[in-house]
């Protein structure tokens, strides 16, 4: 096997961050505040913090991993006990805007600074997102499809020494069969071996410890040629 492109702690060959966006109602109210009076839409979103998160916490406990939960301020205000349970279980909580503000509404330069490189293949939204009103997403795929995508990429990432960031939404992946995907994926990763499950902060701290500024830019360039090399970067 070729040496990994990046050095991970404790001899691991790759890293995986399991993350959740606890959007709840904020993501829809960001689209239009009128949905506050749509009971079906609001209850669909409230399922995340009310039912999805507790179920996902159980699955994470059983799998023996810690995850990163990105929480809009509005969600934290509406469901403080849910967020306390996340913290009490040892998971990381990260900021997800206040009312799920949309990055694509920011100027391009700001978008580049905060979100590149990004892609959607590990996001549960692409497989499970389905709304009639607002008309967002039209997909109800089986959990096995998402698992297959994650597993295939993990095998390749492990060969190349990459970081895999899984993104789930408790109102989507907190449903019974879907939530079990996490345990299956962790079992698959443990059987492969050499996969470091870490929180986003642990990965960031590790990256800071092994990369200086020009090294960080070189890594980005390797991942996304659009970044290009900057003046002064060592080759």
What residue ranges bind Zn ion (CB under 5 A)?
A: 21, 23
Give the integer Cα–Cα distance in Å for 129 and 137.
Answer: 5
Kindly state the smallest distance separating residue 92's Cβ from Zn ion, in Å.
16
* Pick 168 or 189: Cβ nearer Zn ion: 168
* Pick 8 or 20: Cβ nearer Zn ion: 20
Sign of CA dihedral 129, 134, 136, 138: positive
Give the integer Cα–Cα distance in Å for 235 and 229.
Answer: 9
* Pick 168 or 203: Cβ nearer Zn ion: 168
Q: Look at residues 206, 210, 118 and name the one whose alpha carbon lies nearest to residue 167.
A: 118
Q: What angle do CA 55, 101, 147 make, to 5 degrees?
A: 40
Sign of CA dihedral 219, 222, 223, 227: positive
* Pick 124 or 185: Cβ nearer Zn ion: 124
SS3 183: helix
Longest dimension (CA), the chain: 57
Q: Look at residues 107, 115, 144 and name the one whose alpha carbon lies nearest to residue 127.
A: 144
Which residue minimizes CB distance to Zn ion?
21
* Pick 146 or 162: Cβ nearer Zn ion: 146
Kindly state the smallest distance separating residue 77's Cβ from Zn ion, in Å.
16
Kindly state the smallest distance separating residue 104's Cβ from Zn ion, in Å.
13
* Pick 30 or 164: Cβ nearer Zn ion: 30
Strand partners, 113: none
Kindly state the smallest distance separating residue 151's Cβ from Zn ion, in Å.
24
| Residue 234 burial (CB count, 10 A) | 8
Kindly state the smallest distance separating residue 172's Cβ from Zn ion, in Å.
11
Kindly state the smallest distance separating residue 184's Cβ from Zn ion, in Å.
24
């Amino acid at each position: 096997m070729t040496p990994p492109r990046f050095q991970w702690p404790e001899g691991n060959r790759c890293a995986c961050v399991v993350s959740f966006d606890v959007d709840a109602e904020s993501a829809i109210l960001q689209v239009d505040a009128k949905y506050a009076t749509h009971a079906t839409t609001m209850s669909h979103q409230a399922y995340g913090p009310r039912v999805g998160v507790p179920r996902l916490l159980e699955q994470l406990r059983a799998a023996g991993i810690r995850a990163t939960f990105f929480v809009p301020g509005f969600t934290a205000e509406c469901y403080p006990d849910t967020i306390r349970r996340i913290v009490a279980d040892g998971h990381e909580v990260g900021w997800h805007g206040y009312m799920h503000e949309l990055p694509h509404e920011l100027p391009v330069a700001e978008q580049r600074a905060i979100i590149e490189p990004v892609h959607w293949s590990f996001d549960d939204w692409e497989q499970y997102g389905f709304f009639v009103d607002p008309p967002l997403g039209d997909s109800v795929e089986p959990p096995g499809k998402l698992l297959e995508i994650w597993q295939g990429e993990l095998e390749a990432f492990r060969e190349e020494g990459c970081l895999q960031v899984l993104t789930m939404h408790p109102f989507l992946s907190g449903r019974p069969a879907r939530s079990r995907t996490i345990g299956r994926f962790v079992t698959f990763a443990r059987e492969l071996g050499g996969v470091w499950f870490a929180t986003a902060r642990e990965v960031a701290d590790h990256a800071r410890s092994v990369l200086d500024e020009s090294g960080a830019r070189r890594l980005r360039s390797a991942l996304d040629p659009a970044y290009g090399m900057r003046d002064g970067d060592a080759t």
